A and B are shown apart, each in its own frame.
Chain A
């Protein structure tokens, strides 16, 4: 099959619906939109003439660029065929060698790997920005960038990380493994699955273009009224986050529907692997929170483009409207970053502790509880904003209430480790580090949810330390655990264990030595997003910067491991290197297109370690009942 395809000359294979044409049509679309925007004249747009900044043109440019990109990738073919009355189909371009990685492919395993590489790329860019920030902060007064460029840099770093890494675990790992874990052979909406990936890539590219338009001054939160006043560059922020929001919403819908409808017979809710619980709770937050972000950003777009006044109190609006809507999305967003990490860690612990997951039901309740509570806390970000202060006690209480379900998850983790014969392999090390880091992140969060101490720490580097401990120490450590754990399944080759351990220890130590001092810096009054700081803080800042460079170097160690193991040595991994009982490891490697050649039927828990392994029995073909 593949043979016939690769026999064609390269130029012939490049013609068709693929990334190349997506980019070409995207650029054409941009210029078309830009031109179109300059042709529109209306009363509410007349102010553009006096500012020589036509936001409508730039926004239309982005809109048409996106349309061109999706057309080039082939996303319109199917809807158009259905609009001409053709029937529904499920698959597209699932075979054909490397080519399917550069186009709309409906194989969930391809999409998982696309996500892994794509997200890795933008994570790298975000990380490079962090290095530049830390380089600037080596001295108390501006040296590399002016105040404005520094602000853009911080905004780019934060926005890129928040936007892209939200899909950091669901994108690669849930897309790849959730169907395998539940015994399905595809996702419920395979084209939508591919769409979420390409939307995210388009978003990342759009955010980068802000550099061509002068950047944006708001940081990742995009607060009003600065967002109405900012230059061109803020339009990139709007489109980036709106597309990320769209991608998240669709990703969430797809995950939930897949889990509800495609589970193999016997896989009751009580047997669903905990990672899947993490994934669908995250998904639920995505579906309900991201649309609010999209709406808020479209309001900004209207304010900037057609002169509405959603956020201008001088004209009947209010900046608080934005702040409320943003954090109504924004707080669930931070749990979007945390929950998949919970899922990964609890999924891997039993494998390496060789014990069943302790308190499975409690863990599920904890995850779902965190997800639901996260909608009722958003105003803790606005304690010092001047909003009605009688609301504070409620939000303080609800925020602190979240530590209860979070505590349950810790409890389950500790219960699993209790008296276990732990195997300290690389994925396990990352999981254990997760507990350490997330504990510090969580405990410092209590100070921020407490009004009296938040008044002192808000907007300082204390906050910076807190959320890097939760996001980087939580999400990114879980991300690496997942990579080391599942790469043998995805590529049939394991990452080198020794290099992995070196990577882990450098990363763990330098991470803590980078972010722990930020608590102190914050308490000593160092503000976020400001390029200067009091000169007596320089020694500590230099320490932090040097640690950050080591942290950056540890990422290069990881890349070296990838190149060494996956490109140079290529030693095949054993079929089930961690002796996991989970369903994804019972399939052959590489996983066949249809995942399972017969419908699997599940008759045991996913975490029956310690009891002799039960092979997954297969029913005689004819009796297989429909899934669901």
Chain B
């Protein structure tokens, strides 16, 4: 076996089979645990990232430099905010449901994952559309700065987090027709993390639109 025979698409490799037969084999529980703790830490990092924007929000608001924190008319359309937050929340619920079904029955997680993926993508697109219809621009003062910075990077992080949702969905598609369509490892931690990110999205909505 040479490194060049390892298929670059990452499908089954002989290396792994070899490991599974020896005493040192890694259990699925270990992999689940790795994912769970990994997501906790990534969650901590995500919180610190958005904490910076929360800090910017309250700090600049309290300073109100030159009275330009939030000039009149700098109001994002509430309808969009509600739409985005609702889509995120529903997407998170759908994916949590997918993980639960997979845990209990070992199949049937495909459809809810697909729904979660669609709703998540919808939220991101809706955010982009909102930018086109918003009555102010990034140069309209402190609030506008925070609004744009925060929401743009929220979308970036949401898209990255949706990766695992897509992976679950794709695995379900590929498992179709197979007898034992293996549940992808770490589905539950991934679902909890996505719910967490979506929760941050709802929190963003509360701070940016309501407070």
Contacts and interface: CB of A to CB of B under 8 A. Distances in A.
A49 interface: no
A310 B145 contact: yes
B52 A296 contact: yes
Contact of A308 (B11, B139, B174): B139
Interface in A280-339: 287-292, 294-296, 298-299, 302-303, 306-310, 313-318, 320-321, 324-325
Contact of A307 (B49, B51, B69, B139): B139
Contact of B3 (A85, A90, A95): A95
A325 B52 contact: yes
A309 B139 contact: yes
A10 interface: no
Interface in B107-138: 137-138
A179 interface: no
A144 to B, nearest CB: 39
A288 B48 CA distance: 6
A242 to B, nearest CB: 11
A74 B171 contact: no
A596 B15 CA distance: 16
A256 B38 CA distance: 8
B145 A302 contact: yes
A252 interface: yes
A324 B62 CA distance: 15
A84 B52 contact: no
Contacts of A85: 167, 170-175
A291 B68 contact: no
Given A253-B42, A288-B45, A306 B138 contact: yes
B11 A81 contact: yes
Given A257-B37, A321-B60, A626 B45 contact: no
A201 to B, nearest CB: 21
Interface string A164-205: 000000000000000000000100110000000000000000
Nearest to A188: B34
A598 B34 CA distance: 21
A91 interface: yes
Contacts of A627: 30
Given A93-B6, A96-B2, A302-B148, A87 B184 contact: yes
A622 B38 CA distance: 29
A318 B16 contact: no
A325 B29 CA distance: 39
Interface residues of A, number: 81
Contacts of A302: 138, 145, 148-149, 152
Given A83-B166, A188-B38, A316-B69, A43 B3 contact: no
A88 interface: yes
B185 interface: yes
A1 B38 contact: no
B63 interface: yes
A230 B170 CA distance: 46
B177 interface: no
B29 A626 contact: yes
Contacts of A287: 41, 44-45, 48
B170 A83 contact: yes
A79 B23 contact: no
B141 A82 contact: no
Contacts of A50: none
A599 interface: yes
Given A4-B2, A626-B29, A316 B137 contact: no
Nearest to A626: B27
A77 interface: yes
Interface in A55-102: 74, 77-96, 99-100
B84 to A, nearest CB: 20
B211 interface: no
A628 interface: yes
Given A92-B10, A261-B33, A299-B56, 12 more contacts: A74-B8, A80-B9, A81-B11, A85-B175, A89-B10, A91-B13, A92-B6, A253-B41, A292-B48, A292-B52, A299-B52, A310-B60
14 contacts: A5-B3, A44-B139, A79-B163, A84-B170, A86-B174, A87-B12, A249-B45, A291-B45, A295-B52, A303-B145, A313-B63, A313-B66, A324-B59, A626-B27
